[in-house]
A and B are shown apart, each in its own frame.
Chain A
Amino acid sequence: ELKVEQNPLFLSMQEGKNYTIYCNYSTTSDRLYWYRQDPGKSLESLFVLLSNGAVKQEGRLMASLDTKARLSTLHITAAVHDLSATYFCAVGFTGTASKLTFGTGTRLQVTL
């Protein structure tokens, strides 16, 4: 059974600071995704990582994938309040109806 673990589960950080969210998964996978969820809202796609060593960046967020370590990271640079949200990683496999297994989420709170 595939397990996806994120840590930390909750992160409070000051504006301007850097931090990293970790996503570990238990079975070899060929695709990993990061999503963002604002309070009371649904999930929106942030990054799609499809190969070992893949790195994607959007603004202050950068995601990377190490398939050998079964680890993905979401790095936050110089956090701003607008980044406050819950971040989920999800792992999938080719050929299984694109079914994804989600981590429990990391709630990020950026304080002024």
Chain B
Amino acid sequence: DVKVTQSSRYLVKRTGEKVFLECVQDMDHENMFWYRQDPGLGLRLIYFSYDVKMKEKGDIPEGYSVSREKKERFSLILESASTNQTSMYLCASSNFDSYGYTFGSGTRLTVV
């Protein structure tokens, strides 16, 4: 069964900390994505990557960065966590075909 694995289901971090969210997929997918999900706002794209070491900004990249050193792994980095980054973070992957995304189970991040 194909999988997208996010390393943590729940995280609590302090304001100002550097936070790493990890995502690994085993489907040899080209594309990987990070979204955040907030009540009433749906899913908003933070960053995406269509190849190793390639990255593109999504709709809300401010305060975030990403790293893709290997095809299967896409990391989201909060350089200095703030309370307004408290959210559910969803990782997804896809190929250059029509079948859409496979999502990870999500990481619920709380910044205190």
Whole-angstrom distance between the alpha carbons of A101 and B56 in the complex?
A: 15
Whole-angstrom distance between the alpha carbons of A95 and B106 in the complex?
A: 26
Q: Considering only CB atoms and an 8 Å cut-off, how many residues of chain B contact the other chain?
A: 28
Q: Is the CB of B101 within 8 A of A88?
A: no
Q: Is the CB of A102 within 8 A of B98?
A: no
Q: Is the CB of A102 within 8 A of B33?
A: no
Q: Is the CB of A42 within 8 A of B106?
A: yes
Which residues from chain A contact B106 at a C-beta distance below 8 Å? 41-42
**Contact status of A48 and B100, CB under 8 A, knowing A97-B48, A102-B42, A103-B42:** yes
Name A48's contact: one of B35, B42, B43, B98 (CB within 8 Å).
Answer: B98
Q: Is the CB of A50 within 8 A of B103?
A: no
Secondary structure of the A side of the interface? strand
**Contact status of A99 and B100, CB under 8 A, knowing A41-B105, A42-B105:** no
Q: Is the CB of A45 within 8 A of B42?
A: no
Q: Is the CB of A45 within 8 A of B56?
A: no
Which residues from chain A contact B56 at a C-beta distance below 8 Å? 97
Which residues from chain A contact B97 at a C-beta distance below 8 Å? 98
Shortest Cβ gap from A101 to chain B (Å): 8
Q: Is the CB of A45 within 8 A of B101?
A: yes
Which residues from chain B contact A88 at a C-beta distance below 8 Å? 42-43
Task: Please tell me if B75 contacts chain A, counting CB pairs below 8 Å.
Answer: no
Shortest Cβ gap from B7 to chain A (Å): 14
Interface stretch, picked from B12-20, B61-69, B88-96, is: B88-96
Q: List 20 A-B contacts (CB under 8 A).
A: A33-B101, A43-B101, A45-B99, A45-B100, A45-B102, A48-B100, A88-B43, A90-B100, A97-B31, A97-B50, A97-B56, A98-B31, A99-B31, A99-B45, A99-B58, A100-B100, A100-B101, A101-B45, A102-B43, A103-B42
Additional A-B contact list (4), CB under 8 Å, known A88-B42, A99-B31, A105-B42: A50-B98, A92-B100, A97-B56, A104-B41
